[in-house]
Amino acid sequence: MTLLCWNCRAIGQPRTVQDLVCLVHALQLQLVFLSETRQRKEVVEGLRWRLGLKNVLSFSEKGKGGGVALFWDDSRCSVAWD
């Protein structure tokens, strides 16, 4: 399983989004966790299509700080539950 955890310090900049998309596709990441997104929930959740990951769980904080998001794709993740 491949994953990325990134304190992105705001996902609103086009260059940041472009770099994230390139990383996800180049490394074929299965899980992506972002902290300090500093964006509305709707904006963050809209990134799932550009990332190519079907699922997202996000939380946004009012104000300048905070915000986390977890992106994943069930078809890319193979987890064995015992």
Question: Can you give the CATH number for the domain in which 40 is found?
Answer: 3.30.1370
Identify which has the larger pLDDT, 44 or 79: 44
In a domain, 58, yes or no: yes
pLDDT of 24 reads: 95
| Span of 3-7, 9-13, 29-33 with lowest mean pLDDT | 9-13
pLDDT at 56 over 60: yes
Q: Say if residue 80 is exposed, middle or buried (CB neighbours under 10 Å; 0-12, 13-18, 19+).
A: exposed
In a domain, 36, yes or no: yes
pLDDT at 65 over 90: no
* Domain enclosing residue 32, as ranges: 3-72
pLDDT of 64 reads: 65
What is the tally of structural domains in the chain?
1
Identify which has the larger pLDDT, 80 or 20: 20
pTM: 0.85
In a domain, 53, yes or no: yes
In a domain, 10, yes or no: yes
C-alpha to C-alpha distances, 41 to 44, 67, 79, nearest whole angstrom: 5, 8, 27
Q: How far apart are alpha carbons 59 and 57 in whole angstroms?
A: 7
In a domain, 81, yes or no: no
What's the mean pLDDT when you consider all of the chain?
Answer: 88
pLDDT at 31 over 60: yes
